A and B are shown apart, each in its own frame.
Chain A
Amino acid sequence: MSNYEAVIGLEVHVELKTHTKLFCGCSTEFGKEPNTQVCPVCLGLPGSTGVLNKKVVELAVKAGLVLNCKIGTYTWFDRKNYYYPDLPKGFQISQVFRPIAYKGYLDIDINGQNKRINITRAHIEEDPGKLIHSGGSIMTSHYSYVDYNRSGMPLIEIVSEPEIHSGEEAGAYLEKLKANLEYAGVSDVKMEQGSLRCDANVSVRPVGTTALGTKTEIKNMNSFRAVQRAIEYEVERQIEVLEDGDRVIQETRGWDENRGITLSMRNKENPDYRCFIEHELPPIELTPEWIADVKGTIPELPDARRKRLVEEHGLPDYDAGVITSSLALAEFFDAALKKYPDAKTISNWIMGELLRLLNARNMELSEAKITPDGLAALLELIEKGSISNKMGKEVFEVMFEEGKDPGQIVKEKGLSQISDEGQLSRIIDEVIAKNPKSVADFQSGKKQAVGFLVGQVMKATKGQANPGVVNAMLREKLAQ
């Protein structure tokens, strides 16, 4: 390892799952025609004034609670002033001086070790609109389009302490953050749709020192994997800069996914946002009772669920961790378990086949056709010996793609397994007759010779014979 330590803080923007925007009644639906979900308020037209969406406060408090934050009972909004064409009022309404949630943490697992990452704050703010440039950037484009559908969408910005020391830790922190917010129903947390965005502040310093090095802010990462890679690249880059005797420049750098590098976007020398209180909105005053009520609506969180899977269903901790990392997966598991009460077998299939196919096809569980009931039915067929484990995998893939009933797939594909001893006996006798050498080997003590003979039976039945039954029958016959 090098003589440098990476110091990383993450700023995560999460879009809250509300039907309407932060300060107006416009719809928050994703993917609509540009500038169709706008009104005087989210366009910042002269004279317009906004009104706080109550649901946002509820979701922000929920988010704060699942990030183990303290909740401010008296907070307010402030204006962050800057000019940009996607910002219709020339200021962003945010919570600068008093965030609604502060002093939280998330515990992550690094190589089986627990590590706590502290969270500085989580505050409510409005999203600006979205720019689409005709050229590379706003300064080089001949023209740019701006879509204000996103303007005024409710966000929480979650700021971690600079306590993350590697890309891997950043990835684990993001996974945990995403899972907790998803479980709490606060956000869709989909990075591809922009409902979760992450910027990383990265600096390096010599091991053993405490002063922070000059940081760069890394943007434009479109997946957790990209965040991890970008951080790893940037840490290496900064170390090289320092090793060459240069100094790191404080700037914003963009992640280029294709080239796998970060590139300078603009120098950022502490912009002055001239923040001050937003007088057009009253302060947010919350009672401890109301906060307790919100707390009461939070469902079981990933850590608790993971513990439950281990303690109640005897799953290995690793399995439980994977399954509970996403709410959809955990619900799939629970539903399948209701129909087929063998937790480990279900877990094996989820971790093996289901995740393999999802990853291979880059799909979300909700896009796959297989249902928990279907998986349970498949496992019953295997248990009864109607099909082999290997055939099961084939059937699983069809269920994944087409969502059919496993029994029907087995029938259509002629996949049923031969376990009938009468039917098998004749075939086994033939194999014994054709392979005197193996028989002799077995009888002279080379017990592994039976494997070859089982293989021959499987070949003769085109794989449909139940190998367990064949094995037992062969041993019995050869012992005679």
Chain B
Amino acid sequence: MQLFRLTAHELHDLLVKKEISAEELNLAVFDRVEAVDDKVKAYVTLTKERALEQARSVDRQIHSGEKISPLAGIPVAVKDNICTDGILTTACSKMLANFVPPYSATVVKRLDGAGATMVGKANLDEFAMGSSTENSAFFVTHNPWDTERVPGGSSGGSAAAVAAGEAICSLGSDTGGSIRLPASFCGVVGLKPTYGAVSRYGLIAFASSLDQIGPFSKDVTDCAMMLKVISGHDPLDSTSAKYSVPDYTGFLRNDVRGLKIGVPQEYIAEGINPAVREVIEKALARLEALGAHVEYTTLPHTEYALSTYYLIAPAEASSNLARYDGVRYGFRAQNTDDVIDMFMKTRSEAFGPEVKRRIMLGTYALSAGYYDAYYLKALRVRTLIKQDFDRAFEKYDLLISPVCPTTAFRIGEKTDDPLEMYLSDVCTISINLAGIPGMSIPCGFAQGMPVGLQLMGRHFDEATLLRAAYTFEQNTDYHKAVPEL
């Protein structure tokens, strides 16, 4: 039995039945990391001692007959832009290559509280800016299905770790598709929760009004378990909503009868890879066969989403990244003339090209004389995009689309063309602008590479997403496919 191939809920059963120990499970996952991470490069930091200590503590609980929580002892990877007390948290930037936070993010505390063990910190595009993990200052993560290809981004390390069996579940963050895109490319389940559902305290901010932490897993049940643990109001984060967290696993019913599903035609427009389109259409037919009402609909402002996003997100980023000035922590340029020179050289030397590009875009959009024409206008269009969704959800319980018009592309294929790279997010960014939940589940393969189906729901209606996703999963086998490494 290859423990690293199992899901969290399967492993939980084995732990409770004492057929395996948490230590054994964690050692199995670290063995797997040892065996394949040279090829995948999912992790930037491993935390084996910490994980084994956590695992032994879970074993003691089991041994003394205590009831353990569903994630107890389960090895989880954490994206390296989420702060971990006493453990390097780099955002995969040269700027923070030596940064050890004195505190943990709320989600990390919640996972710790649930007894989950942390395998390590997963690779990402520098400061979560990118769609391929090629912008990591350290190295590229490879897609476990084809190591010549990218895993998607920016949470590429988190997605690849789960797909490769180097973690059972993981955490990512999603500002414009950074969970859903790599989930789609790597053939795993990924969920971006409603904005405000999960605390952002300890998540290194990229674009504060869009960033949201969410889980990766091998199946929908694990996704619901992870979501339950990390969700809920956090008094340390003003943007976290006050709501009662439901028991998401309770919504996992194999039943979509009567569910009204809208398919925004703009998301399956020209530019979509025909093989991907075929997979999506087959998935829609499957849902219809299972009793859902599926019809095409429209989100008319979709064409403005990309430009809106590339004004709002960089504007916020230009401000959020201003703190990296070499004064207090992180990288500081040497041999500088004065404080201004230190600021400039520090930032010039330690930020990568994509981060600089976005800081410049954002600075420009916020500048006097351009603010109204760019930033303010983008905020107005954002409202229109939200209203598109509001109107759609008056009619439909759920919207479905592809996550990306293509499957995982080759490493280096798009690095010279930022615009082409940005187009990878064309189906995912509107969801962040609207603040609604979005999910990617495996729905088939195109030319041997996984294709993700995107499910979009009403604010705080993760339940409907999970139910539809679970039903699809129960009636298909795509989630069971594993890459050979």
Residue A452, interface by CB 8 Å:
no
Q: Are A83 and B368 in contact (CB under 8 A)?
A: no
Residues on B with C-beta less than 8 A from A276 are: 315-316, 319, 366, 371, 375
Chain B residues proximal to chain A, CB less than 8 Å:
81-83, 89, 91, 96, 99, 101-103, 105, 200-205, 208-209, 235-239, 315-316, 318-319, 321-325, 327-329, 338-340, 343, 363, 366-368, 371, 375
Q: Are A83 and B201 in contact (CB under 8 A)?
A: no
Looking at the complex, which one of B200, B209, B322 makes contact with A91 (CB distance below 8 Å)?
Answer: B322
Q: Contact mask A51-94 → B, CB, 8 Å, 1/0?
A: 11000000000000000000000000001010101001111000
Residues on B with C-beta less than 8 A from A81 are: 318-319, 322, 366
Q: Are B89 and A46 in contact (CB under 8 A)?
A: yes
Residues on B with C-beta less than 8 A from A83 are: 322, 325, 340, 343
A48 to B201 alpha-carbon distance, docked (Å)? 6
Q: Are B339 and A49 in contact (CB under 8 A)?
A: no
Q: Which of A256-280 contact B (CB under 8 A)?
A: 270, 272, 274-276, 279-280
- Smallest CB separation, B337 vs chain A (Å): 10
A246 to B89 alpha-carbon distance, docked (Å)? 56
Q: Do A274 and B339 form a contact, CB below 8 Å, given A40-B102, A46-B96, A49-B239?
A: no
- Smallest CB separation, B154 vs chain A (Å): 16
7 closest cross-chain pairs (CB), A and B: A90-B322, A279-B209, A274-B366, A47-B202, A46-B204, A279-B208, A47-B83
- Smallest CB separation, A273 vs chain B (Å): 9
Residue A43, interface by CB 8 Å:
yes
A23 to B330 alpha-carbon distance, docked (Å)? 23
- Smallest CB separation, A218 vs chain B (Å): 24
Q: Are A46 and B367 in contact (CB under 8 A)?
A: no
CB closest chain-B residue, reference A23: B238
Residues on A with C-beta less than 8 A from B324 are: 90
Q: Are A45 and B101 in contact (CB under 8 A)?
A: yes
Interface size on A, residues (CB 8 A): 32
Q: Are A52 and B105 in contact (CB under 8 A)?
A: no
CB closest chain-B residue, reference A139: B338
Q: Are A47 and B319 in contact (CB under 8 A)?
A: no
Residues on B with C-beta less than 8 A from A213 are: none
A64 to B343 alpha-carbon distance, docked (Å)? 38
A48 to B102 alpha-carbon distance, docked (Å)? 11
Looking at the complex, which one of A46, A49, A139, A270 makes contact with B323 (CB distance below 8 Å)?
Answer: A46
Q: Are B327 and A47 in contact (CB under 8 A)?
A: no
Q: Are B328 and A49 in contact (CB under 8 A)?
A: no
Q: Are A89 and B322 in contact (CB under 8 A)?
A: yes
Q: Are B203 and A47 in contact (CB under 8 A)?
A: yes
- Smallest CB separation, A98 vs chain B (Å): 15
Which of B83, B89, B323 counts the most A-chain CB atoms under 10 A from its CB? B323
- Smallest CB separation, A287 vs chain B (Å): 18
Q: Are B319 and A90 in contact (CB under 8 A)?
A: yes
CB closest chain-B residue, reference A25: B236
Residues on A with C-beta less than 8 A from B319 are: 79, 81, 90-91, 274, 276
Q: Do A85 and B371 form a contact, CB below 8 Å, given A46-B89, A47-B201, A276-B319?
A: no
Q: Do A274 and B238 form a contact, CB below 8 Å, given A46-B83, A46-B91, A90-B322?
A: no
CB closest chain-A residue, reference B83: A47
A279 to B432 alpha-carbon distance, docked (Å)? 14
Residue A281, interface by CB 8 Å:
yes
Residues on A with C-beta less than 8 A from B366 are: 81, 274-276
CB closest chain-A residue, reference B237: A49
CB closest chain-B residue, reference A52: B238
A282 to B103 alpha-carbon distance, docked (Å)? 24
CB closest chain-B residue, reference A273: B368
Residues on A with C-beta less than 8 A from B316 are: 276, 279
A260 to B291 alpha-carbon distance, docked (Å)? 86
Q: Are B103 and A45 in contact (CB under 8 A)?
A: yes
- Smallest CB separation, A49 vs chain B (Å): 5
Please give 7 more A-B residue pairs, beta carbons under 8 A apart, in addition to A81-B318, A81-B319, A83-B340: A40-B102, A46-B99, A49-B239, A51-B237, A88-B328, A280-B238, A282-B239
Residue A138, interface by CB 8 Å:
yes
Q: Are B102 and A45 in contact (CB under 8 A)?
A: yes
- Smallest CB separation, B306 vs chain A (Å): 20
Residues on A with C-beta less than 8 A from B339 are: 85, 138-139, 144
- Smallest CB separation, A154 vs chain B (Å): 16
A138 to B327 alpha-carbon distance, docked (Å)? 13
Looking at the complex, which one of B236, B321, B327, B371 makes contact with A51 (CB distance below 8 Å)?
Answer: B236
- Smallest CB separation, B83 vs chain A (Å): 4
Looking at the complex, which one of B105, B202, B239, B327 makes contact with A85 (CB distance below 8 Å)?
Answer: B327
Residue A385, interface by CB 8 Å:
no
Q: Are B323 and A89 in contact (CB under 8 A)?
A: yes
- Smallest CB separation, A283 vs chain B (Å): 10
CB closest chain-A residue, reference B330: A46
CB closest chain-B residue, reference A82: B322
Residues on A with C-beta less than 8 A from B375 are: 276
Q: Are A85 and B325 in contact (CB under 8 A)?
A: yes
Q: Do A90 and B83 form a contact, CB below 8 Å, given A46-B96, A46-B101?
A: no
- Smallest CB separation, B260 vs chain A (Å): 32
- Smallest CB separation, B281 vs chain A (Å): 38
A156 to B339 alpha-carbon distance, docked (Å)? 29
Residues on A with C-beta less than 8 A from B343 are: 83
- Smallest CB separation, A77 vs chain B (Å): 10
Residues on A with C-beta less than 8 A from B235 are: 51
Q: Do A49 and B201 form a contact, CB below 8 Å, given A90-B322, A279-B209, A281-B238?
A: yes
13 contacts between A and B (CB under 8 A): A44-B328, A46-B96, A47-B82, A47-B202, A49-B239, A81-B366, A83-B343, A88-B328, A274-B367, A274-B368, A275-B366, A276-B371, A279-B316
Residues on A with C-beta less than 8 A from B239 are: 49, 279-280, 282
- Smallest CB separation, B279 vs chain A (Å): 36
Residue A372, interface by CB 8 Å:
no
Residue A249, interface by CB 8 Å:
no
Residue A185, interface by CB 8 Å:
no
A91 to B339 alpha-carbon distance, docked (Å)? 17
Residues on A with C-beta less than 8 A from B237 are: 49, 51
Residues on A with C-beta less than 8 A from B82 are: 47
Residue A50, interface by CB 8 Å:
yes
A279 to B328 alpha-carbon distance, docked (Å)? 24
Residue A146, interface by CB 8 Å:
yes
A44 to B330 alpha-carbon distance, docked (Å)? 13
Residues on A with C-beta less than 8 A from B363 are: 274
Q: Are B105 and A90 in contact (CB under 8 A)?
A: no
Residues on B with C-beta less than 8 A from A47 are: 81-83, 89, 101, 105, 201-205
CB closest chain-B residue, reference A86: B327
Q: Are A272 and B238 in contact (CB under 8 A)?
A: no
Residues on B with C-beta less than 8 A from A274 are: 318-319, 363, 366-368, 371
